[in-house]
Amino acid sequence: MLYLDYLSYHNRFVHISILEKLAVGLGGLLLAVSSGTPVMNLAVFLFMSAILWRAGMHFGYWLRLWGTLLPFLLTAVLTILFSFSWQSFDALWQIQLGPVHVGITAAGRSAMESALLRSVAAASCLLMLAGTTPVSYLAAWASQLKVLRPVLEVALLAYRFIFVILHTAGQIYTAQQSRLGYSTLPRSLRSIGILAANLGRKSFLTARDLFIGLSSRNYTDRLVFRYPPQQVAPLRLSVIFAVIGLAAWLSH
């Protein structure tokens, strides 16, 4: 089990209703996407991070999560930073590559900074939900809308198979490492190739065992969603909506 998944089941906010946490997470996501002010995006990021710290996430693990996410976000926004033209243009920095002029303009830099702040704030909202609410509980809560049940079943099975693949890869890697499969560079490359070749087959075998286990428990092409009963606090929910509404009004 990943630590983030473990934390979602064992945190200080696990007793708070899913509706309230969804209101905070999705409300912050809407503020991050719709707001054009850096102050609001920074406030959303810090607030969601504070919730994760209060929930019990270690600061070191929080840094590791962002160390994994930031390269993807930066790769996405870097395409906004650079401008291309067949002719020279006003730019903060410019280089000519054959007939093409590549440069960084003030408008491009401003757009990249805005997109990066929005992306970071939006990602922090999703991390808050992932760190305080188990995916199975979210699926069980959303399954009250029957039209979503088929989609939720596929999503929940796909989520389960992530851990099946990780567990299978871990077993193969441990077996290879115990036989000095990664002692030298040539052996490491060969071991990685063998791992990749066998991972799919062993994952399918494990998935078959999972299906056999479901069938032995009267599985009839429909998963039963369950989560612990939780009480919604009307006062707390009203405060959440009021704060989000006030923040949206102030940001516009």
Distance of alpha carbon 246 from alpha carbon 252, whole angstroms: 10
Query: Could you count the other beta carbons within 10 Å of the beta carbon of residue 193?
Result: 10
pLDDT tens-digit map of 139-191: 888 877 778 777 887 787 778 788 778 888 888 888 888 888 888 888 888 88
Q: What is the per-residue pLDDT for 125?
A: 93
105 in Cβ contact with 89 (< 8 Å): yes
Residue 77 has pLDDT above 90, yes or no: no
Q: What is the per-residue pLDDT for 221?
A: 66
Q: What is the per-residue pLDDT for 53?
A: 92
The DSSP bridge partners found for residue 104 are: 82, 93
Q: At what angle do helices 18-34 and 106-132 cross, to 10 degrees?
A: 180
Q: What is the per-residue pLDDT for 46?
A: 93
Residues in the chain: 252
- Which spans in 59-184 are helix H? 59-81, 106-132, 135-142, 149-178
pLDDT tens-digit map of 202-244: 777 877 887 788 778 777 666 666 777 778 888 888 998 898 8
Q: Which amino acid is at 25?
A: G
Q: What is the per-residue pLDDT for 1?
A: 55
125 in Cβ contact with 44 (< 8 Å): yes
Q: What is the per-residue pLDDT for 121?
A: 92
Residue 8 has pLDDT above 70, yes or no: yes
Q: What is the per-residue pLDDT for 160?
A: 78
103 in Cβ contact with 83 (< 8 Å): yes
pLDDT tens-digit map of 11-66: 888 888 888 999 999 999 999 888 778 888 899 999 999 999 998 899 999 999 89
pLDDT tens-digit map of 97-149: 778 878 888 887 888 888 889 999 999 999 999 889 888 888 888 877 778 77
